[in-house]
Every structure is written in C-alpha cells, then in structure tokens.
Amino acid sequence: MEAVAAVLKEPSGPFSIETVEVAAPKAGEVLVDIKAVGICHTDIAAATGAFGNPFPVVLGHEGAGVVEAVGEGVTNVRPGDKVLLTFNSCGECKRCKSNDPAYCLQFFPMNFGCVHSDGTNRLSKDGATVHDNFFGQSSFAAKAVANSRNVLKVADDADLATLAPLGCGIQTGAGGVMRSLSAKQGESLVVIGGGAVGLSAVMGGKIAGCDPIILIEPQVARREEGLALGATHAIDPIAQANTAEAVRAIVPEGVDMVVDTSGYLPAVEQAVNMVCTLGRIGLIGVPGSLDAALPVPLVQFITMGGTVRGIIEGDSDITGFLPELIAHHAAGRLPVDQIITRYPFSEINQAIEDGHHGKCIKAVLTFD
Ligand SMILES: [Zn+2]
Ligand SMILES: [Zn+2]
C-alpha cells in the first residue's frame, strides 16, 4: 500500500513529503496507521547522520496511531487498537530480562540501525529501499511498521496527539527523576534546561513530591512555563552565571538531585558543586561532541558519597512506567498539553524551525 512520509534523502537535508510504498508486516511486526507523532531532539540529531544511520531514511520515534494489521505471532495488540509507540528492545538480553529495556545490549542497532530484524526494510520508493524501523517505528509517516515489543495498547478514547510524546521525550524527563534518580518525597531537585525533557523532569519531580524544584533555563518563557508546571524557583543562567552559587542561595547545604537535560558542558560542570552529601547527578542531555567529558572532583565525590549516572529513556519500560505516566496524565498530574504545539504533518520543516527558535517546546505533527 502507499502512504505519505517525510523522507530524508541525505544528511541534514530537508524532510521531503513523498508517497512511499509500505510492505505488509512480517512476523512479530505491527502495521500502525499513524495519527500523531512528536518531534524529539534525537530526530534532529539523527537527521544530520550523527548516529551513523543510513539514508534515505524515515525518522520519527514518538508515534501514536491505530493498528491496521499484525504479523504472525503478535498477540498484544490487534487491528483497531489505539496504540502508543516507544523505543525498541530485543527482549532476550540480560538487561531486557531484568526489565531494563532502555539499556538493552542491542539498543543501538535496534533503534538507530534503521533496518528490521530480518535485515530488510518495509518502505520503498520507485523500487529503491527507504530505510525504516528507526526506534522500531519510523513514524514520520502516515503508516509505520513497528514491532510488538514497542507498541502499547491505550484506551479507545485516548487523545493520541497528547500521548504521542510520552513514548520518548516525556518519559525520558519524568522517568529520569522518578525512576533513574529514584526521587523521594521532600527531596530537593535541580533541573538544567527547560525544553520538553527538562519540563517533563519538573513535572516528574512534582509528582514525586520534590521540594524545592529549581529550574535553570535561559529563556524567560520557558522559565515561566517551568514555574507553572511545578518548579518552585527558576534561575536565569545568563543573569547568574555561577548557577551553583545561585542554587546554594536557595538550598545552602546543596540539593539531593541534579538532572541535566541541556548537554551544554559549562552548565553541566556546575552540577558537581550543587549537590549535598549523597547527591545524585543524572545526565540526559547529549553533548554535541563524542569527546565531551565531565571533570568530577574525586576526593569531594568520594567523601560526600556522590553519584553521577547516565540516563536513557528515563529507565522507562512499556508495561510498567509508560502506563503509569498515562494514568498520571489522565488524573491531571502530567499536564503535557501545556507544552505541546500541534502542526499538520506537512509542516514538519516549519515545526523543526520553530523548535530551533524557541517558538514551540514540543511539536506534535498530526495527520488529520
Ligand atoms: Zn535486550
Ligand atoms: Zn526521543
């Protein structure tokens, strides 16, 4: 069958809206009629070829839609089900078996390889391969062939455009605080960066009962959004360049947790001076350089019992944390609607441009 897709023909090229041919799902695969898809920073990084992914390719990894067909052996969803898509994992390695799919030993090939497990692709254009299965979905398209392991059935009345970004950006920020750093009631939290992931970390901190929640973000509109979503304080790092000092003016002994969503090294470096004894620093934002390093003062960190850890997808999992987040949203505790701007799918390039200029926080493309 045919479907429209945003095809990226070469690294850093524009997304070109084209009609592609979509093959039927094979064993273990799920054909999804995509209704909405969020744009995540990882799409933009992958569009440059930074992850070594092949071209031409269809990206997109915050998809949501309706199941159209299932391949042999798929039992968790059936045609007509509304589904949310998330990252892919193998289901067989030691990390998948311990229910840590974000740290699947096959995470990189399964999410960035842009090929299905049998080594072939489901999309083509004029007989030539168009790479798909990015994050197990390639949902910048009206139809995506996902995998049973990365589709979750949601309620029939679910608003797919609102839930779509839960599959990556929202679970990464909220889970980074709630799961990866195991935030507890009353603990103090600093969030560096007020984009979609950072603001989700703020929302996650509020759900966990953190207090204070301090957001460090240079754009005034995003600081205000952070305060509206549960931050108790907001620091402008342009006005107060020594952010560690600014944090200690609020919490003199230092905070329990810092989560960085900026990947901006000068901002991250200050985190080591923000934390109290037993302080935990979580790193989510990916720096622009593979060689980026964080100097950790060893004696200080040993004596204070400090932790620095990396975070992928907020340690989320599709059967546990993702449904938990959907329930938090339904109960009004995860007001993601406030950070979403909807665009028609055909305006994908404009949506990315607006994101670059801070005109939107989380763009969601819709197909209706
Ligand atoms: Zn695995
Ligand atoms: Zn993402």
54: in domain: yes
Question: Looking at the structure, do residues 12 and 135 belong to the same domain, yes or no?
Answer: yes
pLDDT at residue 362, as a whole number: 98
325: in domain: no
Angle between helices 220-229 and 196-208 (to 10 degrees): 20
Question: Looking at the structure, do residues 308 and 198 belong to the same domain, yes or no?
Answer: yes
Question: Looking at the structure, do residues 55 and 196 belong to the same domain, yes or no?
Answer: no
361 Cα: distance to centroid of ligand 2 (angstroms)? 13
Question: Looking at the structure, do residues 158 and 253 belong to the same domain, yes or no?
Answer: no
133: in domain: yes
321: in domain: no
Question: Looking at the structure, do residues 140 and 283 belong to the same domain, yes or no?
Answer: no
**Quick one: DSSP state of residue 287?**
P
Distance, in Å, from the CA atom of 116 to the CA atom of 134, rounded to the nearest integer, reads: 9
Question: Looking at the structure, do residues 36 and 85 belong to the same domain, yes or no?
Answer: yes
- The domain in which residue 210 lies consists of 173-312
168 Cα: distance to centroid of ligand 1 (angstroms)? 18
322: in domain: no
237: in domain: yes
Question: Looking at the structure, do residues 70 and 182 belong to the same domain, yes or no?
Answer: no
Which ligand has the shortest distance to the CA of 41? 2
312 Cα: distance to centroid of ligand 1 (angstroms)? 14
306 Cα: distance to centroid of ligand 2 (angstroms)? 28
101 Cα: distance to centroid of ligand 1 (angstroms)? 6
Report the sign of the C-alpha dihedral through residues 202, 205, 207, 211, in that order: negative
The CATH number covering residue 272 comes to: 3.40.50.720
Distance, in Å, from the CA atom of 334 to the CA atom of 332, rounded to the nearest integer, reads: 6
Question: Looking at the structure, do residues 145 and 218 belong to the same domain, yes or no?
Answer: no
Contact by Cβ (8 Å): 66, 35: yes
318 Cα: distance to centroid of ligand 1 (angstroms)? 13
Which ligand has the shortest distance to the CA of 284? 2
pLDDT at residue 272, as a whole number: 96
Alpha helices in 236-309 (DSSP H): 243-250, 265-269, 298-304
85: in domain: yes
Question: Looking at the structure, do residues 7 and 142 belong to the same domain, yes or no?
Answer: yes
57 Cα: distance to centroid of ligand 1 (angstroms)? 24
Q: How many separate domains does the chain show?
A: 2
Question: Looking at the structure, do residues 37 and 133 belong to the same domain, yes or no?
Answer: yes
66 Cα: distance to centroid of ligand 2 (angstroms)? 21
329: in domain: no
Q: Which of 278, 157, 260 is nearest to 201 (CA)?
A: 260
Question: Looking at the structure, do residues 7 and 131 belong to the same domain, yes or no?
Answer: yes
Coil vs helix vs strand at 314: helix
Residue 56, preceding bond cis, omega within 30 degrees? Answer: yes
Instruction: Give CA torsion, residues 209, 214, 218, 223, to 10 deg.
Output: 50
245 Cα: distance to centroid of ligand 1 (angstroms)? 42
Which ligand has the shortest distance to the CA of 108? 1
The CATH number covering residue 109 comes to: 3.90.180.10
pLDDT averaged per 10 residues in sequence order, the chain, 368 residues: 97 96 98 98 93 95 98 98 98 97 97 96 97 98 98 97 98 98 98 98 98 98 98 98 98 98 96 98 94 94 97 97 98 97 98 94 95
pLDDT at residue 368, as a whole number: 79
Which ligand has the shortest distance to the CA of 101? 1
Structure tokens at 1: 């069958």
Question: Looking at the structure, do residues 102 and 13 belong to the same domain, yes or no?
Answer: yes
Distance, in Å, from the CA atom of 129 to the CA atom of 113, rounded to the nearest integer, reads: 14
184 Cα: distance to centroid of ligand 1 (angstroms)? 29
> What's the one-letter identity of residue 6?
A
Distance, in Å, from the CA atom of 42 to the CA atom of 284, rounded to the nearest integer, reads: 12
| Residue whose pair of structure tokens reads 């990894």 in the numeric block | 61
